[in-house]
Amino acid sequence: MNTVLLVLLCNALSCFIISTILFQFMNGKYKKSSRNRYVYIVIETGTVIFTFCINMLNNSMLNLAVWGVLTGIIAYVLYYEDMDKPLRRIIECEALVFCMSVCESLGVILLQCILQVIDIKNVNETMLYCLEVTFSKVILIFLYYTFINRYVKKSDVPYSKTRYIMYGIILIYSLINMSVIVENFKNGEENYLCAVNMGCIVLADLYLLYFVKMADEKNYYEKQLIALEQQAKVQYEYYLTQTEKYDQTVQILHDVNKHIKAIEGLYSAEKEQSAGEYAAKIRELLKPLIPVRYTENPILNILLTDKEAVMREKGISVTIKVDNVNLNFIEPIDITTIFGNLLDNAIEATEKLKGDKYICIKIGAYHKMIVVSIENNCNEVKWKNGLPVSNKEKGGGIGLMNVQSSIKKYDGNLTLKYIGNKFIAELFLNS
């Protein structure tokens, strides 16, 4: 009785694991044809029950054929894509079924190697079947989450090192734990509790690896959200600056007639020198409101003019050299993201210095590439993961992440260097 029950549990576990992975894959890669989530719960449950019944016939070829046909029907009926290509969708899902079969075979081979290494022979047939099911499913789960899911299912979320480390720790722990349990099956011994324990390890692995995956993706999207908030803050500060300039312009325009009459009065009174001085003061008043024409891009002109004014206020010497380049292919939001963040970082690093401070901005062209160099003197730079560490407690480094994200749109590249007491940011954009 115990033997029959154990075989039933092993078959149920096998069908549940394969069905769970299959539906996870399709739910993540395709769109659902029905909005009723209970339809998918019922179909997934029915798939487990139906394949369990087929599995009990103990015919591996029939089992594989049923999984293949069932997978094709589910992929065709219950899912779709924007550019709907049902044949490709079915082939991808069938390929996943084939990959899972290969992974299970690798798990069985690994089990045979372990049994040979620790010199365990004459394992009871039922216990051996349980071992094959559990080892094959552990390897399947690990390979699916580590490799298959990454390369078959396209995702914008990169795999972090932490995710790989956690996957490795879980796999090693599971294999060691299961290898120790295997000792209880030597010389034909039967140990049903140990067999059930191994099944629990498989289920734990399935949900632990899924949890690690979701936690890693959650962390990635949280960083993306912070990056968007930081980018919105840059845009908002830029908007406030322009609003302030607009208010100043309105004030000057409001008094323009008075200024003109005052200058005319001075000329009428033959006070040309005083009139000239008055006009010079008006020009100085208007100067901050008129952007310098560095390039053909008006957004960049305004931004460079604003940042130059900030630098001079902080006692920073500014050099801006711009060749005859066309930057109009860059979106306005990317202009403020790239140049706004890099210049803000340069100002933040330079203003802390005592003595001479400088920032040098160069924009030129090399073949079909736009080359930008921003150099500033600064204190020693600390690095983490290839990026300089910001002194900001929250959101530090997010600005550079935004810059890199914008540069990627133009097949560009950002290089950061610290030489002596100089920090250099060089970027290339494909025009």
Q: What is the rounded average pLDDT of the residues 208-234?
A: 83
Residue 349 lies in a domain: yes
Residue 287 lies in a domain: no
Over the range 333-358, which residues count as b (16 or more CB within 10 Å of their CB) and which as e? Answer: ebbbbbbbbbbebbbebbbebeeebb
The CATH number linked to 296 is 3.30.565.10
pLDDT greater than 90 at residue 190:
no
155 and 304, same domain (yes or no) = no
302 and 197, same domain (yes or no) = no
Residue 225 lies in a domain: no
Give the number of domains in the chain.
2
* Cβ atoms of 396 and 389 closer than 8 Å: yes
pLDDT for position 264: 64
Q: How far apart are CA 316 and CA 66, in angstroms?
A: 73
pLDDT greater than 60 at residue 423:
yes
For 59-106, give the DSSP string.
Answer: -HHHHHHHHHHHHHHHHHHHEE-TT--HHHHHHHHHHHHHHHHHHHHH
Dig out the tokens for 37 from the structure: 């989530």
Domain boundary among 190, 218, 246: 218
| Residue 139, amino acid | I
39: domain range? 2-218
Residue 244 lies in a domain: no
pLDDT (tens digit per residue) in 388-416? 876 654 445 567 888 888 899 899 999 99
183 and 299, same domain (yes or no) = no
10 and 107, same domain (yes or no) = yes
Q: How confident is the model at residue 242 (pLDDT cuts 50, 70, 90)?
A: low
25 and 152, same domain (yes or no) = yes
Residue 281 lies in a domain: no
| Residue 416, amino acid | L
* Chain position carrying tokens 């921003």: 374
Q: How confident is the model at residue 109 (pLDDT cuts 50, 70, 90)?
A: very high
Q: Report the phi/psi class of residue 395: left, alpha or beta, with left for phi > 0 and alpha for psi in -120 to 50.
A: left
Q: How confident is the model at residue 189 (pLDDT cuts 50, 70, 90)?
A: confident
How far is CA 242 from each of CA 182, 253, 308, 311, 347, rounded to the nearest angstrom? 72, 16, 15, 17, 20
- Reduced 3-state DSSP string for 339-398: HHHHHHHHHHHHCCCCCCCEEEEEEEEECCEEEEEEEEECCCCCEECCEECCCCCCCCCH
Average pLDDT, the chain: 84
Q: What is the rounded average pLDDT of the residues 48-64?
A: 91
180 and 329, same domain (yes or no) = no
Q: How confident is the model at residue 237 (pLDDT cuts 50, 70, 90)?
A: confident
For 229-245, give the DSSP string.
Answer: HHHHHHHHHHHHHHHHH
What residues are paired with 80 via a beta bridge?
31
Q: What is the rounded average pLDDT of the residues 1-9?
A: 82
* Cβ atoms of 216 and 163 closer than 8 Å: yes
Q: What is the rounded average pLDDT of the residues 299-305?
A: 85
Residue 399 lies in a domain: yes
Q: How far apart are CA 21 and CA 19, in angstroms?
A: 6
Residue 163 lies in a domain: yes
Ranking 81-85, 105-109, 149-153 by mean pLDDT, the lowest is 149-153
184 and 60, same domain (yes or no) = yes
* Cβ atoms of 175 and 168 closer than 8 Å: no
How many H helices and E strands in the chain?
Answer: 13, 9
What residues are paired with 83 via a beta bridge?
none
Residue 353 lies in a domain: yes
187 and 317, same domain (yes or no) = no
298 and 211, same domain (yes or no) = no
Domain boundary among 181, 201, 218: 218
Give the list of residues 6+ apart from residue 269 with CB closer than 8 angstroms, or none: none
Q: How far apart are CA 193 and CA 357, in angstroms?
A: 73
Domain boundary among 218, 249, 279: 218
CB atoms within 10 A of CB 18: 23
> For the chain, what percent of residues have pLDDT higher than 90?
39
334 and 423, same domain (yes or no) = yes
pLDDT (tens digit per residue) in 249-267? 666 666 665 666 666 666 6
pLDDT for position 395: 47
pLDDT greater than 50 at residue 305:
yes
53 and 195, same domain (yes or no) = yes
Q: How far apart are CA 259 and CA 261, in angstroms?
A: 6
22 and 136, same domain (yes or no) = yes
